[in-house]
Amino acid sequence: MEVKDAIAQAKEFVRELYQDEPIEKIGLEEVEFERGSGGGTWAITIGFQRVWQVAGGSFTMGSPTRVYKVVRILDTDGSLTSIKNHRMSVEN
């Protein structure tokens, strides 16, 4: 699977799985290919905004916060293996 195909697949998985929630501004954040026996796995971080989840607590006072998910896809067949919260690193 090419990297562009893996990214498109990850975005589509996010759209499908969150279709009952109002999300917007879906975008690519990070891509990593992890080699393993029998193939590899794409670890693709996708960012998006949940319209109902607002920084500052009030919809009128803040803007939607960004959510980051790591979507893991098998390279061999494009199947989804997991979607997890991204652990943000803090650099000084």
For residue 35, CA distances in Å to 10, 51, 65, 76 come to 18, 36, 33, 11
Tens digits of per-residue pLDDT, 18-51?
A: 999 889 999 999 999 999 877 899 999 999 998 7
Average pLDDT, the chain: 86
Q: What percent of the chain has pLDDT over 70?
A: 82
pLDDT at 89 over 80: no
Q: What is the CA radius of gyration of the chain?
A: 15
| Confidence class for position 91, pLDDT limits 50, 70, 90 | very low
Domain ranges of the chain: 3-85
pLDDT for position 14: 97
Mean pLDDT, residues 40-63 taken together: 75
The pTM assigned to this predicted structure is: 0.81
